[in-house]
Structure 1
């Protein structure tokens, strides 16, 4: 089954089985940079009923489908920003297009600025986690992973920018801040030197101070 065939079958299943009238594909499948084993990420809307999630293998592909009552189309918030850039597969009228336009407007607006004490708390937390990661062992290695994940978010949040998720974040870094992108690339390698992580933390914290 081709991707187009699978998408057609998925839309039919959501329409018949779950009575969805507006269906949007998002993520790597919508952007066109999916791997062979990438999920089909879908958000779908129907006239009523509770929100639910359908996951699992379907016709040989992995699905991750969120189904909402149609009222959710009108109430966009930051929890839905990952759907931004999606592709409308089916829609009632122009509901899907209007929903995506509202998400773009939300993303383009400035997020609430972090308070100065929150900025300092995030920077101090990163330094504390850096020390704990240096100890090694199962806890130190866990702290390292946790720190790397949060540093990517901090790069954007400390600059009063919305965090767009990891895929888009790394694309932005590669284009606009290649030095930080290179540090992430090195720090995420198995067996990376602790000094690389130190340099990454210092770069993000220092740049955040300058940006204020």
Structure 2
């Protein structure tokens, strides 16, 4: 999955593999800054707010349904954080 940031000069890439440690690699490539995060299938079972960077991401290569499930989780996480960040309306009769 890829999320462009700024003026298409910085790309965040996410890869999911079966086993291994979480890894991050960042470097310049062909005039663009690539920032890649590599997770395992187990790492993406319970996501946290750091995954919100994937909001509006696009899938570059489909391997199975993992990428769709991950993006659905990100959307749900975003929706839940928006509900909590909305000011509460108080029903006050004056």
- What TM-score results when the alignment is normalised by the length of structure 1? 0.37
**Aligned match of 2:41 in 66, 70, 81?**
70
Q: How many residues align?
A: 90
Per the normalisation by structure 2, the TM-score is: 0.77
Alignment of 1:6-45 (within 5 A): 24-28=1-5, 34-36=6-8, 38-45=9-16
Q: Whose helix proportion is higher, 1 or 2?
A: 1
After the TM superposition, which residues 1-212 of structure 1 pair with which residues of structure 2 at under 5 Å, given as runs? 24-28=1-5, 34-36=6-8, 38-110=9-81, 160-161=84-85
Assess if the C-alpha contact under 8 Å between 1:27 and 1:82 holds in 2.
no
Structure 2 unaligned residues grouped into runs of 5+: none
Counterpart residue number, 1:172: none
SS of 1:96's partner is: helix
| Alignment gaps of 5+ in structure 1 | 1-23, 29-33, 113-159, 163-207
User: Which of structures 1 and 2 has the bigger CA Rg?
Assistant: 1
The Cα offsets for residues 100-142 of structure 1, whole Å up to 9 and x where unpaired, read as 0111112112569xxxxxxxxxxxxxxxxxxxxxxxxxxxxxx
Alpha-carbon deviation of 1:97?
A: 1.0
Structure 1 segments, 4+ long, off by >6 Å, are none
RMSD: 2.5
Task: Give the structure with the larger strand fraction.
Answer: 2
* SS of corresponding position for 2:60: strand
The 1-side partners of 2:39 and 2:48 are apart by 14
| Residue 25 of structure 1: how far off its partner (Å) | 0.4
User: Greater relative contact order: 1 or 2 (C-alpha under 8 angstroms, separation 6 or more)?
Assistant: 2
Q: CA deviation at 1:73?
A: 2.5
